Amino acid sequence: MTAPENTQNPQNAENNTDFAIEGHGDISVGVKGAGASGDGSASATRITPGNALRPEDIALEVRKGQVKPNEDVAEYALRLGDDGLILAQRLGHWISRAPELEEDVALGNIALDQLGHARSFLTYAGAAWDKSEDDLAYFRREHEFRSAHLFEQPNGDFAVTIARQFIVSYYQFELYKRLTGSSDQTIAAIAAKALKEVDYHRDHSAQWVLRLDGGTEESRRRIVRAFKLVWPYVEELFEDDELTARLAETGAGVQPSSLRADFDQLTGEILAEGGLDEELALERIPQSLGGGRQGKHSEHLGYLLAEMQVLAREHPGASW
């Protein structure tokens, strides 16, 4: 695998202030410095952001030379980061458009969780090639993205978004659960943080699958249609290749196929509750060719990237 090409570096290196996010600053309350973002000043009456692994902490470790992924781990982190990034961009489109205000915020929260995972993975991946998360997100071209096809599929109606999220969250849960035991400490730490969030995404999407399934005739029709639309992209998530085989051997990663049995069982339980499984006959739905991990994408990704990248490319180094 080659490192992503990058002809343009939007930020010059001297420009980087310690680890604070450019333009946003450090959000910690009362405590300065990486990793010390709350506990010391926690009290019953004062809200603190809490103490958890942040992309800025990883960026700091990278800059200090404390962590650096090898080529395989970097490529793996790129895949995981791209999955999250592309899905976050898709989900963000729901903001102001969801059927109810409450759901608007729920989908926005999930989008931001995914973006957070993506930032951590891409920051870590970039360390191998001396690139920042922004270099990777905004200055790679379509064929350099390593996300699976499911993540770039259009939002469709609410049911399609929920069906896609249902598959993604059950897949990511099984993946991150195993990656908490990764031999790569940074991958393990990112997975541990992401796992709790993805667990909630599972619950959110499962609740909605059950309600759409058991709701009205119309909601049932829509969730059935939704699963038929997105299920063809399931197989690709569980495909092994040379990279995952090497990573599974070193213990840094897992073979995607090893997640399939648990994924099938847990999603199957939800789908069986209202009889959706019988109506869908999922095993008979033909599967797409995939290819996202090699940079071969569906026609949808280009448009998504154009929208996501235009500002950064038009005004390199812009901050707000």
Partner 1 sequence: MIPNDSPTDHPNAWPLWEVFVRSSRGLSHVHAGSLHAPDAAMALRNARDLYTRRNEGVSIWVVPADAISSSDPDSKGSFFESPQGKDYRHATYYTKSEGVKHL
The answer to whether 54 contacts partner 1 (rule: CB under 8 A) is no
Calpha distance 19→242 (Å, rounded): 35
The answer to whether 109 contacts partner 1 (rule: CB under 8 A) is yes
Q: How big is the site for partner 1, counted in residues (CB under 8 A)?
A: 19
Q: At what angle do helices 300-314 and 71-92 cross, to 10 degrees?
A: 90
Which of 8, 70, 207, 265 is in the footprint of partner 1 by CB under 8 A?
207
Calpha distance 251→246 (Å, rounded): 9
Q: Which is nearer to partner 1, 24 or 64 (CB)?
A: 24
The answer to whether 211 contacts partner 1 (rule: CB under 8 A) is yes
Q: Which is nearer to partner 1, 115 or 128 (CB)?
A: 115
The answer to whether 102 contacts partner 1 (rule: CB under 8 A) is yes
Which of 9, 11, 48, 258 is in the footprint of partner 1 by CB under 8 A?
48
State the minimum distance, in angstroms, from the CB of residue 304 to partner 1: 25
- Token digits of residue 12: 């010059």
State the minimum distance, in angstroms, from the CB of residue 49 to partner 1: 6
Which of 100, 217, 242, 299 is in the footprint of partner 1 by CB under 8 A?
100
Calpha distance 305→302 (Å, rounded): 5
Which residues does 228 contact at the CB level (< 8 Å), separation at least 6?
A: 280, 285
Single out the residue of 174, 194, 20 nearest to residue 120, CA to CA: 194
The answer to whether 180 contacts partner 1 (rule: CB under 8 A) is no
Q: Which is nearer to partner 1, 47 or 281 (CB)?
A: 47
Calpha distance 185→187 (Å, rounded): 6
Q: How many CB atoms lie within 10 A of CB 37?
A: 23
Sign of CA dihedral 81, 207, 238, 177: positive
The answer to whether 105 contacts partner 1 (rule: CB under 8 A) is yes
The answer to whether 218 contacts partner 1 (rule: CB under 8 A) is no
State the minimum distance, in angstroms, from the CB of residue 50 to partner 1: 5
State the minimum distance, in angstroms, from the CB of residue 35 to partner 1: 16
Which of 7, 44, 281, 283 is in the footprint of partner 1 by CB under 8 A?
44
The answer to whether 106 contacts partner 1 (rule: CB under 8 A) is yes
Given the rule CB under 8 A, which of 11-19, 198-206, 250-258, 301-309 is the region that contacts partner 1?
Answer: 198-206
The answer to whether 155 contacts partner 1 (rule: CB under 8 A) is no
The answer to whether 261 contacts partner 1 (rule: CB under 8 A) is no
The stretches of the chain forming alpha helices (DSSP H) are: 55-63, 71-92, 101-126, 133-138, 149-152, 158-179, 185-214, 217-230, 234-237, 242-250, 260-273, 276-280, 300-314
The answer to whether 281 contacts partner 1 (rule: CB under 8 A) is no
Which residues does 303 contact at the CB level (< 8 Å), separation at least 6?
A: none
Residues 98, 107 contacting (CB under 8 angstroms):
yes
The answer to whether 241 contacts partner 1 (rule: CB under 8 A) is no
Q: How many CA atoms lie within 13 A of 168 on its CB side?
A: 32
Calpha distance 110→119 (Å, rounded): 14
Q: Which is nearer to partner 1, 109 or 258 (CB)?
A: 109
Given the rule CB under 8 A, which of 53-61, 97-105, 119-127, 134-142 is the region that contacts partner 1?
Answer: 97-105
Q: Which residues bind partner 1 (CB under 8 A)?
A: 38, 44-45, 47-50, 100-103, 105-106, 109, 200, 203-204, 207, 211
